[in-house]
Amino acid sequence: MSSAARPGIRLPDRLADRARDVLEGRTPPVAPRDAATVMLLRPVPGASGTDASLQVYMLRRRPSMAFAPGAFVFPGGSLDARDAEIEVGWAGPDALEWGRRIDAPADLARALVCAAVRETFEECGVLLAGPTADTVVADARGEDWEADRAALLERSVSLAGLLRRRGLVLRSDLLRPWSRWVTPVTEERRYDTRFFAAALPVGQRARDVSGEADNAAWIEPADALAAARGREIFLLPPTAVTLGELGACGHLSAALTARRRITALIPEVFVADGAVWLTVPAGLDYPL
Amino acid sequence: MSDSPEARLAALGLALPPVAAPLAAYVPAVRSGSWVYTAGQLPLADGKLLMTGKVGAQVSAAEAAALARTCALNALAAVAAAAGGLSAVTRIVKLVGFVASDPAFTGQPEVINGASELLLEVFGEAGRHARSAVGTAVLPFDAPVEVELIAEVRD
């Protein structure tokens, strides 16, 4: 079959055992949870002009986490019930249009955009919202913002509620749909994740504030891939593919104007030569 | 086989899921005399498709077999709801499995074995059934596999 012609990534033993259990019918597969992740982008500091190369903000997941411990990832996370609130100040394409863009029903699309903005604020203190449809919060640092962020994290407030109280609108137009990855069917924790790209708003700073991370950095995609090849950092396959795509864009404006077709990408799992292998979907370049 | 089908299922670490709500103008299963016919069952868990795509392209045969097993479990839930429990099933008569296939893929039988093997594990000899395993271009919502069952049931 087609997978035999594509390079495989050999699964480590722990994941391979679980994969065999699912493939051989001993463990039923689980349904994926909806999730959103955001690649925050900025030009390399000090560079000028539109062809400055870009950096992306990445976090290292704490080694104690259940899903992808120790992996370098983009900020993001699962949808929660608060993301479905309809009464949210909104700028940019409406839910129906977002649904068309990210291959989702309108209600789910709105919730995914909310989750993307919420997670970006929770995990790096960057807020993609503004007082009007064409302005953005200039600086989301300080004690009052930190209190809001803590309230979001402990789920005592929704993003919609926070924006309402501060008189802000969610700037959905600052997000660009990038891709959709679904965790392989064999895994214990599965996510159906929409990837978005966004430029870091002028004036705002990304901060390592997430309790889920023990390291955070702005990094050029090619440098992250080189570090992964040198086994200095660990990247999940979708992260590696996405870094390759961002690197190929070269600079910020190219990444933000890239035309992306969003379909579900699911790494394929198969058994060969006594091992369990994973391949990225055909047509994608696996840069590691 | 002395254990009840429910006990066999539990021993496999499985439980009957809620019957999947119909996606259009039909019912999940119909009883006609001594037989229960199910609607085609997709690989859904918690109301979500486990995977999408074509087998032999985006989905491997081994993955598709695991999905077919989930389809069969969903079909058993539909049978149980129509028959008043799995213990009312006297035998599985026929299984039809559809595999959304890449044009070059010809391994439909091994994919649908994922469904057939579950029926044998749950019903033993009474789970042996006639079968069709069909390759098709596309299935609803881009599901890779769909399975339907005919079961004979006690009055």
pLDDT tens profile B5-52? 999 999 998 999 999 888 788 899 999 999 999 999 999 998 899 999
Q: Is the pLDDT of residue A268 over 60?
A: yes
Determine the residue of chain A that is closest to B101 in CA distance: A1
Q: Is the pLDDT of residue B127 over 50?
A: yes
Strand partners, B35: B32, B152
pLDDT at A49: 64
Per DSSP, the three-state class of A116 is: helix
In tens, the pLDDT along B11-22 reads 998 999 999 888
Taking an 8 Å cut-off on Cβ atoms, the answer to whether A1 and B60 are in contact is yes
Instruction: Name the CA dihedral angle for A91, A93, A99, A103, rounded to a multiple of 10 degrees.
Output: -120
Taking an 8 Å cut-off on Cβ atoms, the answer to whether B66 and A281 are in contact is no
Measured CA angle at B107 (ends B104, B112), to 5 deg: 135
Determine the residue of chain A that is closest to B73 in CA distance: A28
pLDDT at A177: 97
What single-letter DSSP state applies at residue B126?
Answer: G
A282 touches chain B (CB under 8 A): yes
Mean pLDDT on A53-79: 91
Tell me the pLDDT band of A4, cut-offs 50, 70 and 90: very low
ipTM score assigned to the predicted complex: 0.80
**Could you give the maximum distance between any two Cα atoms of chain B, in Å?**
45
Task: Give the one of B14, B50, B102 whose C-beta lies nearest to A185's C-beta.
Answer: B50
Task: Give A 181-200 residues with CB within 8 A of chain B.
Answer: 182, 184-186, 192
- Determine the distance in angstroms separating the CA of A79 from the nearest CA of chain B, rounded to an integer: 15
Taking an 8 Å cut-off on Cβ atoms, the answer to whether A27 and B44 are in contact is no
Which residues on B lie below 8 Å from A264 (Cβ)? 52-53, 142
Measured CA angle at B72 (ends B43, B48), to 5 deg: 20
pLDDT at A152: 94
- Determine the distance in angstroms separating the CA of A183 from the nearest CA of chain B, rounded to an integer: 9
Which residues on B lie below 8 Å from A192 (Cβ)? 48
- Determine the distance in angstroms separating the CA of A4 from the nearest CA of chain B, rounded to an integer: 10
pLDDT at A2: 43
- Determine the distance in angstroms separating the CA of A51 from the nearest CA of chain B, rounded to an integer: 36
Tell me the pLDDT band of A282, cut-offs 50, 70 and 90: confident
Task: Give B 38-67 residues with CB within 8 A of chain A.
Answer: 43-48, 50-53, 56-63, 65-67
**In 3D, which of A228, A134, A197, A29 has the Cα closest to residue B66?**
A29
Task: Give A 235-264 residues with CB within 8 A of chain B.
Answer: 264
Q: Are A88 and A163 in contact (CB under 8 A)?
A: yes
In tens, the pLDDT along B53-65 reads 999 998 999 999 9
In CATH, the number for domain A31-260 is 3.90.79.10
A125 touches chain B (CB under 8 A): no
Q: Is the pLDDT of residue A149 over 50?
A: yes
pTM listed for this prediction: 0.88
Q: Is the pLDDT of residue A3 over 80?
A: no
Tell me the pLDDT band of B2, cut-offs 50, 70 and 90: low
Whole-angstrom Cα distance, residue B50 to residue A99?
A: 20
Which residues on A lie below 8 Å from B56 (Cβ)? 1-2
Q: Is the pLDDT of residue A91 over 50?
A: yes
Whole-angstrom Cα distance, residue A180 to residue B128?
A: 40
* CA gyration radius, chain A: 19
Segments making up each domain of chain B, as ranges:
5-16+34-153
In tens, the pLDDT along B63-119 reads 999 999 999 999 999 999 999 999 999 999 999 999 999 999 999 999 999 999 999
In tens, the pLDDT along A151-208 reads 999 999 999 999 999 999 999 999 999 999 999 999 999 999 999 999 999 989 998 7
How many CB pairs (< 8 A) connect A and B? Answer: 83
Q: Are B139 and B25 in contact (CB under 8 A)?
A: no
Whole-angstrom Cα distance, residue A95 to residue A103?
A: 11
Tell me the pLDDT band of A6, cut-offs 50, 70 and 90: low
| Mean pLDDT (chain A, rounded) | 91
Taking an 8 Å cut-off on Cβ atoms, the answer to whether B66 and A23 are in contact is yes
CATH class assigned to B5-16+34-153: alpha beta
Q: Is the pLDDT of residue A5 over 60?
A: no
Helix (H) or strand (E) holding A73: strand A72-73
- Determine the distance in angstroms separating the CA of A197 from the nearest CA of chain B, rounded to an integer: 24
Taking an 8 Å cut-off on Cβ atoms, the answer to whether A32 and B57 are in contact is no
Q: Please, which residues have CB within 8 angstroms of residue B88's CB and are 6 or more apart in sequence?
A: B80, B153, B154
Q: Which pair of tokens denotes residue A170? A: 């969610």
Tell me the pLDDT band of A7, cut-offs 50, 70 and 90: low
**In 3D, which of A36, A38, A41 has the Cα closest to residue A199?**
A41
Helix (H) or strand (E) holding A214: strand A213-219
Which residues on A lie below 8 Å from B65 (Cβ)? 23, 25
Tell me the pLDDT band of A50, cut-offs 50, 70 and 90: low
pLDDT at A63: 83
